[in-house]
Amino acid sequence: MNDRVPKQEVVAARDVKVAFGAVKALDGATLVIQSGECVGLVGHNGAGKSTIVNVINGGLTPQEGAITYGGASADQGITAARASGVRCVFQELSLCPNLTIAENARVMLSDLKGAGWRRRGLALVTRQLAEIFPGHSIDCESVVEDLTIAERQMVEIAISFAAVDARPKLVILDEPTSSLDAGLAAQLMAYVRRFVETGGSVLLISHILGEILSTSDRIVVMKDGKVVADRPAVDFNTRRLVETMGSVVREQGWQRSARTKTGAPVLSVPPLPGASIRLEAFSGEIIGLAGLGGHGQTEALLDLYLAANGNWWPAAEPKMAFVAGDRGLNGTFSLWSILKNLSISSLKGLSNRSVIDTDREKKVSESWRKRIEIRTPDMHNPILSLSGGNQQKVLFARALATTAKIVLMDDPMRGVDVGTKQEVYEILRAEAASGRTFIWYSTEMDEIRLCDRVYVFRDGAIAAELVGDDITEAGVLAASFAGGEAA
């Protein structure tokens, strides 16, 4: 921010405690945000990040501690937070699916009212989307349910930054790039910098440490409900950040499988009309689906699943398992326990004469709880009592606990912390070595690089196939754009 503009306290949460039953979600945490700064907030899954966001956003009243807005106002609650210029883009997106984009803007922006609000709302979002994501292809007159998850994320971000009467003072972005490809994420981070340079504040929560390090002025690290570090971003690098979070930094021990395309394919899909590359998968391969977001990767996975399993009912011996990326829409059973969410795809293996062996079910879910570190005191707790990243781990465990030889993954690491990601990568490699095949759509280049073979999608079809050392960012980017050539 311009150094001549004096900084002001926008919001402060001091010594805040929040407990959910026996779980201490916040245990005396303090977070102060000044005008003109981007504060990066990081921590393991379940560290308390979303909870402190809910406290400063006014949605949750802490059992202990003080919240102040603008250095003085002690009014509490969502209305006070909004009146103080605080806006929040939630991790679980909160747009109303049956409303248009303009109608959602009307719901989120209370000062968008009076005659002509619909027209003004449409113009506002159109302008804001173009400013943050220049060149986007969203039809601003859409109903939200017709948008992809990435487009919904972009719209919610645009509405949150939009100014009707006054522009927001603080925008909280809780994992804002989890569904965005690298290009859109870079556009958003550049916009965040422009916003704070002109006096606005952003609280940025992300498990993608690169964007935290490159975009934040200051980084706050949380662990087990406490703030364990609060220092200028220049004091950190990736290793220091990971260690402060309490995770172990692992050296890159990842080895691509040397065995690609051996034996008969376990899966073979002819190319679409006009395209020339067949999607094939062989036993023990980890195959990446790459390319710009929304170019048909998720649809390809859904088609593969439905072609193999016929429908979405759990099959006795599933040929394929599916790890959903949009967990709210097609991942979690929100009224069920963690245990039931985990075991639903393996019921056949857990049953004796069609009756579920609850002891075995418990044992299997306990072993996954430990293996993938699902942070809960009790697997019988509701799935929604878990933090977002921990819910995603349950979806992983659900698929891996099946006997399916092929596992389809739709950008499945959304919101998973860096320590757990490394563990999951190792599990994937071990499972692939024992003959399982993974088909993995990822919006993160670091993950695409881990794959044995990669299909790059463009306009709904496969535009290129990259193998082994040819899997580079340049190769993926070249193939992602019309006229480009894979490296």
Ligand X SMILES: Nc1ncnc2c1ncn2[C@@H]1O[C@H](COP(=O)(O)OP(=O)(O)OP(=O)(O)O)[C@@H](O)[C@H]1O
Give yes or no for residue 397 binding ligand X (CB under 6 A): no
Q: How far is the CB of 417 from ligand X (least distance, A)?
A: 6
Distance CA 432, CA 422 (A): 15
Closest CA to 46 of 13, 24, 72: 24
User: Which listed range, 48-56, 67-75, 152-160, 424-432, lies at the site for ligand X (CB under 6 A)?
Assistant: 48-56
Of 284, 389, 419, 475, the residue at the interface with ligand X (CB under 6 A) is: 389
User: How many whole angstroms separate alpha carbon 266 and alpha carbon 280?
Assistant: 8
Is residue 19 involved in binding ligand X (CB under 6 A)? no
State yes or no: residue 46 binds ligand X (CB under 6 A): yes
Q: Is residue 62 a contact point for ligand X (CB under 6 A)?
A: no
Binds ligand X (CB under 6 A): choice among 12, 13, 47, 486: 47
| Closer of 178 and 345 to ligand X (Cβ) | 178
DSSP-derived 3-state class of residue 453? strand
In angstroms, what is the minimal distance from the CB of 26 to ligand X?
Answer: 8
Question: How many Å apart are CA 358 and CA 388, to the nearest integer?
Answer: 26
Taking the least distance from each CB to ligand X, the nearer of 10 and 60 is: 60
Q: What percent helix, strand, coil does the chain show, rounded to 5?
A: 35, 25, 40
Q: How far is CA 5 from CA 1, 196, 200, 256, in A?
A: 8, 12, 11, 52
Rg (CA), the chain: 23
CA angle 397, 184, 89 (to 5 degrees): 65
Please identify which residue in 5, 20, 113, 210 interacts with ligand X, judged by CB under 6 A. Answer: 20
Q: Does 45 bind ligand X (CB under 6 A)?
A: yes
Which residue of 58, 296, 412, 415 would you call a contact of ligand X, by CB under 6 A? 415
The amino acid present at 97, given as its one-letter code, is P
Contact with ligand X (CB under 6 A) among 385, 445, 446, 460: 385
- Taking CB under 6 A as the rule, does residue 333 contact ligand X? no
Decide if residue 375 touches ligand X (CB under 6 A).
yes
Task: Using CB under 6 A, pick the residue from 48, 85, 293, 318 that binds ligand X.
Answer: 48
x/- site string to ligand X, residues 266 to 295, per CB under 6 A? ------------------------------
Q: Min. distance of Cβ 111 from ligand X in angstroms?
A: 29
**23-34 and 9-20 as β-strands: parallel, antiparallel, unpaired?**
antiparallel
Strands 218-223 and 38-43: parallel
172: which 2 tokens? 């909280």
Q: Between residues 20 and 481, which has the closer beta carbon with respect to ligand X?
A: 20
The one among 10, 159, 233, 386 contacting ligand X by CB under 6 A: 386
Which range, of 77-85, 156-164, 388-396, 450-458, touches ligand X by CB under 6 A? 388-396
Q: Which of 10, 11, 16, 25 binds ligand X (CB under 6 A)?
A: 25
Q: Supply 320's token pair.
A: 């394929």
- Across 387-424, b (16+ Cβ under 10 Å) vs e yields bbbbbbbbbbbbbbbbebbbbbbbbbbbbbbbbbbbbb
Query: Which C-beta is closer to ligand X: that of 54 or that of 343?
Result: 54
Q: Which of 390, 402, 420, 443 binds ligand X (CB under 6 A)?
A: 390
**Are 392 and 413 spatial neighbours (Cβ–Cβ below 8 Å)?**
yes
Q: What is the distance between the terminal CA atoms of the chain, rounded to a whole angstrom? A: 40
Output the six-digit token pair for 361. Answer: 């079910």
Stretch in the footprint of ligand X (CB under 6 A) among 126-134, 151-159, 379-387, 396-404: 379-387
**Residue of 10, 11, 16, 43 that binds ligand X (CB under 6 A):** 43
Q: Is 387 in the site for ligand X (CB under 6 A)?
A: yes
Residue 51 makes contact with ligand X by CB under 6 A: yes
Q: Which stretch binds ligand X (CB under 6 A): 38-46, 77-85, 134-142, 439-447?
A: 38-46
CB of 375 to ligand X, least distance (A): 5
Among 34, 35, 50, 100, binds ligand X (CB under 6 A): 50
148-153 contacts at long range (C-beta below 8 A, 24 or more positions apart): 148/179, 148/293, 148/294, 148/298, 149/93, 149/179, 149/325, 149/326, 149/329, 150/179, 150/180, 150/181, 150/184, 150/293, 150/294, 151/294, 152/93, 152/95, 152/179, 153/89, 153/93, 153/178, 153/179, 153/180
Q: For ligand X, which residue has the nearest CB?
A: 389
Whose CA is closest to 144, among 103, 188, 92?
Answer: 103
CA distances from 210 to 172, 182, 237, 446 (A): 18, 11, 9, 11
Of residues 477, 155, 468, the one with CA closest to residue 295: 477
Which residue, 389 or 475, is less far from ligand X as judged by CB?
389
Is 94 a binding residue for ligand X by CB under 6 A? The answer is no
Window contacting ligand X (CB under 6 A); options: 262-270, 320-328, 383-391, 395-403: 383-391
Size of the site for ligand X (CB under 6 A): 21
Q: How far is the CB of 192 from ligand X (least distance, A)?
A: 19
- Give contact residues for ligand X (rule: CB under 6 A): 20, 23, 25, 43, 45-51, 91, 375, 385-390, 415, 417
